[in-house]
Every structure is written in C-alpha cells, then in structure tokens.
Amino acid sequence: MRLTVNRALFLSLFLIPLAIVAFYEVFVATDRFESVSSIIITEERTAGPELDLSLLGITGTSSDKDALVLKEFIESRGMLTFLDEKMDLRQHFSSSKVDFITRLGKDDSFEEFHEYYLNFMIVEYDIESKILRFSFQAFDRQYAQEVVKIILARSQAFTDRLNAEVTREQLRFFDDQIVKSEKRLREAKDRLVEFQRKYGILSIETEVTTIMTTITGLEQVLATKQSELEARQQGITDPDAPQLVTLRREIKALADQIKKEKARLAGSGNETALSELDTEFREIQLGLEFNTNIYKANLSALEAARLEAARRLKFLIVVAEPSLADESEFPDRPYIIATWAMVLLIFYFVTSLIVAIIREHA
C-alpha cells in the first residue's frame, strides 16, 4: 500500500509535471535570439592631479554616474515608446507565432508592457572595466539586432543632447555677462562721443597743450611787438604816428587773444573751465576703460568656459557592435528542465515525508 502511494505521489508530483515542462520547453516554447552590444562612456579631461577617493572608500566616478544614467535611459518607458514606434515592439511580442506563455497579451496595459520589456532587455554595468553591456532578446535574430542598433543610435543621440545641454548651461552665464558688458561698453563710448561733440574737444590733454602752445607763441610775438614799439617811440616824437598806432593795435590784439586763451583754461562767463571739463572727461574715460576691461575679462572667461566645456564632453564609444545570433540560446531548455526536476523532486520528497508522518500518527 505504501509503495502504491509513493508511486502515485512520484508520478503526480514529479514525473507528470516534469514531462509537461519538458514537452513545453522542447516542443512549444518559442526560440529567442539575443543581440548584444557593449559601450563605454569617456570624458576628456586635462591632465592634472586628482584626489584618490578610493582611500576613503568612495569608488564612484563621473563615468559611473554617466553609465548609470544611460542604463536608466535604456530601461525607461520613453525608450520603450520610441522602440514601439520604430519597430512595432508590441506587435512583435504579442504575435500569434509566440507561444501562449511567453506571449505578451494584446490587451495588456503599458505598465505590463514595460515590465515585459525589462525581461527581454538586460542592461549591466561593470564598475571595474567601466563597460556598459546591454542585450535584447527577440523571436527573430535580425529583429533583435535591429532593435539593439536603434538603442545604440538613440543612446548616442541622448549623450549628444546631454553634451549640448551641459555646454549651453555652462556658457549661458558668460553669454549673459558678455551681452551686459557690451551694452555698458557701448553706453560708455556713446557718452564719450557725446562729450566730444558737445565741447568740440577730442582730448583734454591735447586741447590744453594746444592752448598753452598758442599762448606761448602769442606772448613771444607780444614781447617782440612791445620791444619794437619801445624802439620806434625813441625815434618818433609824434605819439600818433601811423607806425606807432599800428603797433599799439597789434599789441592790444595780441593781449586780448592771450587773455581769451587764458580764459579758456580758467573758465569765464558762460565758458566751462578746462579743469572742470578735464574732471568730467577723465571720469568718462575711466568708465570707458573700466567697461573695456570688464568686457575683455568676460571674453576671456567665455573662451575659458568653452575650452573647459569641450574638455568635459562625453564620448560614447562602441566596444562591441550589435551581434547577430547564429542560433537560439533562449530559453535555456536543459537548465530549465534540470531546475524544474530539482524543484519537483524536492517537493515530492517533502510531500512524501509529510504523508508518511500523517500515516504513522493516524
């Protein structure tokens, strides 16, 4: 009786389920083909000393973060939507040619579709070699390879877009500063031009030098005319002689001109003294120089930021091109059957033990 019970348990709990599993895996389960590709993300940096954080137990690097971001991107719903639009992924997985257990339901929600997708898209990152490896399984080998190629191209576009966004954000501040400094520099130049047009002066220093030169020349001529007048007065007794009158007029004209030129320096009446104009001119000139220096400094900072942004660009390097499977490797039938055999055998022994204990205590 006990032997009959054990045979019934062995048959129902082990042989029949294992036969069903083996039949399904061998004759029903649809072959899946895998396409594999490997990439690495590098960042060009200037040579220089770097802090070794591994001494503190911190092993994460920028490359690790970039690779993990890309991993998240490949596994994202956005990538699934893109692949479905490009390759009609849902139709491929829900095809009637796929066995009923593996097949995606036509009415499954997008969340279920995404979970199903993650079972066929495997993304692994090796922190030692910095290589990101991703594989995709499909029911057609060329279809699997094409999907991996699209993922690769999409990842490259994603990396390029990140580069563009980072560069734009890094340079935006300096671009704004350039625009502001250009505006201030233009206003300073306009103020200088307006000052020069208003007073008809190109440069205060030049104007003062010109006036002083003129005064010096007039004083020399005046001294000559005064000496000539004194000499003629000794030889001509008539004070109203034409020669003397002419000299006196010339001397007066020279004196008036000298007085007028000196008035331009000191300022008189409605005229503004050159000293006051010089103060205003120097203030304008100082503002122009200050804004020019700021503009040059911003240009230098912008160029340095551009070089730094160029040095920090991310490069996606394909280590292994998407492979084309020669044969189906999934499902791994021997492994699955052996695993089920072990599980069913354990279940059979446990059940037999429980039945035996119950019969002994009955």
Give the CA count within 13 Å in the CB-facing half-sphere of 183. Answer: 6
Q: What pLDDT does residue 274 have?
A: 66
**Amino acid of residue 153:** A
Residue 73 has pLDDT above 90, yes or no: yes
What mean pLDDT is predicted for residues 181-197?
A: 88
With cut-offs at 50, 70 and 90, classify the pLDDT of residue 49. Answer: very low
Taking alpha carbons only, the member of 263, 265, 264, 253 closest to residue 222 is 253
In the structure encoding, which two tokens stand for residue 17, read together? 């389920």
212 assigned to some structural domain = yes
Q: Both 302 and 208 in a single domain?
A: yes
What mean pLDDT is predicted for residues 269-296?
A: 78
What mean pLDDT is predicted for residues 299-319?
A: 81
Token look-up 């990101």 returns 132
Q: What pLDDT does residue 53 have?
A: 37
Q: What pLDDT does residue 244 have?
A: 77
H or E stretch at 343 = helix 333-360
Q: What pLDDT does residue 237 have?
A: 60
2 assigned to some structural domain = yes
State the pTM of this model. 0.65
The answer to which of 2-16, 23-37, 78-92 has the lowest mean pLDDT is 2-16
288 assigned to some structural domain = yes
In the structure encoding, which two tokens stand for residue 152, read together? 């690769």
282 assigned to some structural domain = yes
Q: Both 351 and 296 in a single domain?
A: no
**Cβ–Cβ under 8 Å, residues 35 and 148:** yes
Phi, psi of 122 (to 5 degrees): -110, 120
- In a 10 Å sphere around its CB, with 0-12 CB exposed, 13-18 middle and 19+ buried, how is residue 98 labelled? middle
The answer to which of 38-47, 145-154, 271-280 has the lowest mean pLDDT is 271-280
Domain region containing 271: 179-308
**Cβ–Cβ under 8 Å, residues 330 and 29:** no
Mean pLDDT of the chain: 84
Residue 260 has pLDDT above 80, yes or no: no
With cut-offs at 50, 70 and 90, classify the pLDDT of residue 278. Answer: confident
Q: Both 282 and 358 in a single domain?
A: no
Provide, rounded to the nearest whole percent, the portion of the chain with pLDDT above 70: 86
pLDDT in tens, 127-164: 889 999 999 999 999 999 999 999 999 999 998 888 88
* Number of structural domains the chain divides into: 2
Q: Both 264 and 198 in a single domain?
A: yes
Residue 269 has pLDDT above 60, yes or no: no
Token look-up 């001494």 returns 55
Q: Both 287 and 335 in a single domain?
A: no
**Cβ–Cβ under 8 Å, residues 246 and 256:** no
In the structure encoding, which two tokens stand for residue 244, read together? 């003397």
Integer CA distances (angstroms), 120 to 82, 194, 268, in order: 16, 74, 94
253 assigned to some structural domain = yes
Q: What pLDDT does residue 273 have?
A: 63
251 assigned to some structural domain = yes
Q: Both 275 and 190 in a single domain?
A: yes
Q: What pLDDT does residue 90 have?
A: 95
Q: Both 247 and 299 in a single domain?
A: yes
Q: What pLDDT does residue 56 have?
A: 35
**Cβ–Cβ under 8 Å, residues 136 and 119:** no
With cut-offs at 50, 70 and 90, classify the pLDDT of residue 58. Answer: very low
Q: What pLDDT does residue 240 have?
A: 72
Q: What pLDDT does residue 57 have?
A: 42
259 assigned to some structural domain = yes
Q: What pLDDT does residue 219 have?
A: 82
Q: What pLDDT does residue 61 have?
A: 57
Alpha helices in 103-140, H assignment, sequence order: 110-120
How many CB atoms are located within 10 Å of the residue 224 CB? 12
Q: Both 284 and 355 in a single domain?
A: no
Provide, rounded to the nearest whole percent, the portion of the chain with pLDDT above 90: 43
Q: Both 240 and 192 in a single domain?
A: yes
Residue 51 has pLDDT above 60, yes or no: no
**222 or 120, which is more confident:** 120
86 assigned to some structural domain = no
Q: Both 335 and 289 in a single domain?
A: no
Q: Both 278 and 343 in a single domain?
A: no
**Amino acid of residue 166:** V
**57 or 285, which is more confident:** 285
Q: Both 240 and 338 in a single domain?
A: no
Residue 284 has pLDDT above 90, yes or no: no
State the DSSP code for 54. Answer: G
Token look-up 């490359």 returns 63
With cut-offs at 50, 70 and 90, classify the pLDDT of residue 27. Answer: very high
**Cβ–Cβ under 8 Å, residues 40 and 317:** yes
Q: What pLDDT does residue 48 have?
A: 42
pLDDT in tens, 230-245: 777 776 667 777 777 7
